[in-house]
Amino acid sequence: MLLKGENGTGKSSIVEAIELFFTGKLSVFEGEGTQSLSLRKHAPHKDFSNRDINIKVTFNPGHITLEKTFEKEPDPPKQLENYFQTAKNGTFILRRSQILKFITSVPADRFRAIASILGIEPLDNIELEMKRACDDLEGGIHFKRERMGNLLMEISKLLGEDISESKEVLSSVNRKLKEANLSTIASFDEIDKPADEMLKAFKKTTDMERVRKLNEIIQELESLRIDDKIADDLRSLNEKITPLLDERIKRELSITELLLKGRQAVEEAERNICPLCGQEVDREKLLKQIETRLYTLRQLSEEASEIRRTSVQLEEKLNLLLGKTKKMSLELEPFKSLSNVRTRLLRMLEFMEGFVDRVKSAKELKGGIPVEAFERNKVRLEKLLRSMSVKCQRAFEKIGVPVDWKNKMKVISLVNQIKAIINELDNIEKQLKIEERRYNLASKIYTTFSEIKKSKMDEIYKSIAGNIDAFYTTLHPNDPHKNIELSVSSGRRASTELKIESFGRTKEDPRAFTSEGHQDSLGLCIFLAFVKKFNVGCNFVVLDDVVSTIDAQHRELICKLLFEEFKDYQLFITTHDGIWYEQLRSHQRACGIEGKFKNLEITRWEPETGPLIESFKPRWERIQKRIDSSDKLGAGNEGRQYLEWLLKEICETTRATVPFKIDGKYVISDLWNPAKQCVSKLVKDDKFREKVLQRFQELEATIIMGNLLSHDNPLAETVSIEEVKRFCEAIHELNDVFTCPNCGSFLKYYQDMKKLRCPNSKCEEPIELSCR
Amino acid sequence: MGIQEDIFEDFFDRLEKDAEFPNEIVEKLRKLWESDEIASKEKILKALTGGIEDTSNNQGH
């Protein structure tokens, strides 16, 4: 179907009705800058309501009529399910605004547009989650390796020797035991042996367990250090987080806040109505979509990934410190003299637990890290630990353990400490092996998925690249632009590059060397290639005024492309452009498919009734109708327009020389002589020349022609209807001379062949005339 | 088959053919995909726990 209509007569409304019928939404009400628009509020025209919206579509074969209103969805029968499933994304409709958007958008947006057409948008989120799983595991591994290194350094410090592996520790410990005149051990499981031997000789009344515990606490306090690097790492992490909070969150938080409040409203309302626009919604689906958007908003960037990795490591360090401090607080419980310091330690623990939660929140970009608070409390904790150490020493001295035993107890405590560290090392090593294995698997999952997704996208692009190139070459056969490439960007997730070879330079951005018209036709070719490949279940294609920037010559080629490559498709083409409309009609005739088309025109639009659509009448039929109804003025003016068009066609076809006019407004008197003279000079065929000149003479003989040549005004009101009829018929006969008698196509001059001939490649008996 | 299904079929197929990749994890991932839960870091990590041998070398200190 072709539909012609001036601007504002409702062509696009018809396209929107089709879109609403199949997709349930209108794309003009979605996207950037459409917050003030809503389907429920703005779909009905002024003075109409949602109840007045009723779209009926009849499907053949079977004469199945389905209906869509705001309350009722179309319910397709089984044989149409596939059709509706394919059509529901709306990817069968192309509007002018969409064409350039695809060409000029950034690679990520282009990818999203294609992902939307292909229905693979969720894959992006899945890939991201797989990457996040890898990041988390990597962070944990990194921390564990660092922790193992730190533990070995701690052991080295305690033993006063350089220990690089855990198997060196036992021999070093035994050296210390020997130095203190204690028996050596074969493994750390025998740790109690030297202590037991020593303690047998001690006073039985003394609570040795208490002595040992106190000594252990003292030794732990001596080695308990808060890594200075933690504060630096926290500061560095906070610096990375703060810009994300300041720059984007002001923008994105506004959306995030809206989404959060929207979620709350939808959850609380317990009705299927959107709190923003009042439209009916699928509540569960909406909530899920809001969650996904909130989640994705914060997680998309690589910076967030880095922040997560660093945060995981810091969290583990802080948790370790927290663990040691908690253990210390439990060990202090039996010692009443130390209850005061224990209380202060518990308060410090409370702060640390809250702080770890803040670091976790920062990882999710929910807020910054109060680094200054950490630094203040770090100083307090260090002071507290020193105070505890002094108090524990005093309590130990009060017990009255012999001096040399102090040294032995110190060594035993040292060995106990080292045993605890070795145990921790062993555990970490075991966990590390498991986590490394998990990381390898997670990595494999992510890289395999990414490779397959990229490869699939490339395969899809390659499969349509042939069509895109072929279509583009049809439209631009001798162009310096070719070899169009769509590809997934390497090294970037979810990004599609569009490149073209221009003037011998390969892989250029189309915007670099092509005109807007070229870009428009490229966008059209990409759309048509996707339709051909992916809209298999639905052969319906809508082109809504898509050729505004494309010149007449290339539009001819678009007609050829559509009617040859898409002859099995149901095309619905709208336009305001009369020339493009005539070209489409001419190609229908040339391809012999006129009978398969409905050619319509919107003749009028009223606010109460909307567009008035009638069958399109070719110009000659319109003129005849006016003559039959004795409309002299109407027929005379239409006749003048007909002649003007005809003379322009003749001048263009024969390459007549027409004196230049700066305003480009050529009237009949400008074109008459150049057209007549050029045909006489150009065409060798005497019969044809005679026929043409005869028609020119017949026209010149009409009174109206005389008026036109002198006043550029038919002055039809001064002549009879018969004269008007004679004038119009003479124009039509002149037109007939320049049309192929077999197929009706207007003749075209081929300079290289020196022929004036029918341009229709499908014409069975094309007329051909020799020229000079 | 849709493109998503194509991609996931290839994905599971490749993992299954990898001798070093445990089949039980492939099954867990497949179940997540079938129940539309695979877009979750936590669930992916959970699928990776269990089924992995503890190959740590206990040096016996």
For an interface test with B, which of A91, A165, A434 has the most B Cβ atoms less than 10 Å from its Cβ? Answer: A434
Rounded CA-CA distance A132/A300 in Å is: 10
Arithmetic mean of pLDDT over chain A: 83
Rounded CA-CA distance A480/A472 in Å is: 12
Partners of A165 on chain B (C-beta within 8 Å) are none
Rounded CA-CA distance A628/A725 in Å is: 9
Cis peptide leading into residue A122 (ω within 30°):
no
State the pLDDT at residue A646.
92
Q: Parse chain A into domains and list their residue ranges.
A: 2-119+456-615, 228-400, 619-738
Q: Parse chain B into domains and list their residue ranges.
A: 3-48
Chain B contact for A118 (CB, 8 A cutoff):
yes
pLDDT, tens only, A388-425: 888 888 887 777 766 677 778 788 888 888 888 999 99
User: What ipTM does the predicted assembly reach?
Assistant: 0.88
Task: Give Cβ neighbours of residue B40 (< 8 Å, ≥ 6 apart).
Answer: A129, B32
Sheet of strand A748-750: strand arrangement:
A748-750, A755-757, A768-770
pLDDT, tens only, A274-332: 777 777 777 777 887 888 777 766 655 566 777 878 888 888 889 988 988 898 899 88
pLDDT, tens only, A592-615: 888 889 999 998 888 888 888 888
State the pLDDT at residue B59.
39
CB A734 within 8 A of CB A726: no
Partners of A293 on chain B (C-beta within 8 Å) are none
State the pLDDT at residue A712.
64
Please give, rounded to a whole number of angstroms, the shortest distance from the CA of A538 to a CA of chain B.
15
Token code pair at residue A473: 């070459």
Hey, what's the torsion of the CAs at A43, A48, A49, A51, to 10 degrees? -100
pLDDT, tens only, A117-172: 666 778 888 998 999 999 999 999 999 999 999 999 999 998 999 998 888 999 99
Chain A contact for B32 (CB, 8 A cutoff):
no
Residue A203 has pLDDT above 60, yes or no: no
Q: Extract the residue ranges of chain B whose pLDDT is less than 50.
A: 54-61
CATH H-level superfamily of A2-119+456-615: P-loop containing nucleotide triphosphate hydrolases (3.40.50.300)
Chain A contact for B54 (CB, 8 A cutoff):
yes
Partners of A122 on chain B (C-beta within 8 Å) are 4, 39
Chain B contact for A531 (CB, 8 A cutoff):
no
pLDDT, tens only, A103-117: 777 776 776 677 666
For residue A46, what is the DSSP state? T
Element (H, E) at A766: none
Q: Is A441's CB within 8 Å of B45's CB?
A: no
Tokens 């099954």 belong to which residue? B27
Residue A378 has pLDDT above 80, yes or no: yes
Determine the Cα angle at A547 with ends A97 and A459, to 5°.
Answer: 70
Closest in A122, A129, A437 to B41, CB measured: A129
Chain A contact for B9 (CB, 8 A cutoff):
no
What do you get for the CA distance between the two ends of chain A, in Å?
42
Give mean pLDDT, residues A329-349.
Answer: 89
State the pLDDT at residue A547.
81
Partners of B9 on chain A (C-beta within 8 Å) are none
Phi, psi (degrees; rounded to nearest 5) at A132 = -60, -40
Widest CA span in chain A: 145
Phi, psi (degrees; rounded to nearest 5) at A771 = -130, 165
CB A12 within 8 A of CB A545: yes
Task: Say how many CB pairs under 8 Å bridge A and B.
Answer: 88
Please return the burial class of A410, using the count of CB atoms within 10 Å of its CB with bins 0-12, 13-18 and 19+. Answer: middle
State the pLDDT at residue A376.
93
Token code pair at residue A642: 């007909």
Residue A749 has pLDDT above 70, yes or no: yes
Please give, rounded to a whole number of angstroms, the shortest distance from the CA of A150 to a CA of chain B.
19
% pLDDT > 70, chain A: 87
Token code pair at residue A238: 């906070």
Rounded CA-CA distance A500/A514 in Å is: 9
Chain B contact for A433 (CB, 8 A cutoff):
yes
Rounded CA-CA distance A20/A57 in Å is: 12
State the pLDDT at residue A67.
93
Q: List, in sequence order, the alpha helices (H) in A504-551.
A: 510-513, 516-534
Q: Is B7's CB within 8 Å of A460's CB?
A: no
Q: Label residue A701 by pLDDT band (50, 70, 90).
A: confident
Residue A453 three-state SS = helix
Q: Is A445's CB within 8 Å of B29's CB?
A: yes
Token code pair at residue A521: 């036709």
Closest in B2, B14, B58 to A448, CB measured: B14
Residue, of A224 and A370, whose pLDDT is higher:
A370
For an interface test with B, which of A170, A437, A534 has the most B Cβ atoms less than 10 Å from its Cβ? Answer: A437
Residue A758 has pLDDT above 50, yes or no: yes
Cβ neighbours, 10 Å, residue A84: 19
Please give, rounded to a whole number of angstroms, the shortest distance from the CA of A440 to a CA of chain B.
9
Give mean pLDDT, residues A223-251.
Answer: 78
Task: Give Cβ neighbours of residue A756 (< 8 Å, ≥ 6 apart).
Answer: A653, A654, A682, A683, A688, A747, A748, A749, A750, A768, A769, A771
Please give, rounded to a whole number of angstroms, the shortest distance from the CA of A428 to a CA of chain B.
10
Residue A589 has pLDDT above 50, yes or no: yes
Rounded CA-CA distance A562/A138 in Å is: 54
Rounded CA-CA distance A43/A278 in Å is: 13
Identify the closest residue of chain A to B26 by CA–CA distance.
Answer: A445
Q: Packing angle between helix A371-399 and helix A339-363, nearest 10 degrees?
A: 150
Partners of B17 on chain A (C-beta within 8 Å) are none
Rounded CA-CA distance A103/A498 in Å is: 8
Q: Is A130's CB within 8 Å of B44's CB?
A: yes
State the pLDDT at residue B55.
41
State the pLDDT at residue B58.
38
CB B13 within 8 A of CB B39: no
Write down the pTM of the prediction: 0.60
Determine the Cα angle at A146 with ends A141 and A152, to 5°.
Answer: 130
State the pLDDT at residue A542.
93
State the pLDDT at residue A707.
72
State the pLDDT at residue B57.
39
State the pLDDT at residue A261.
75
Phi, psi (degrees; rounded to nearest 5) at A410 = -60, -45
State the pLDDT at residue A537.
84
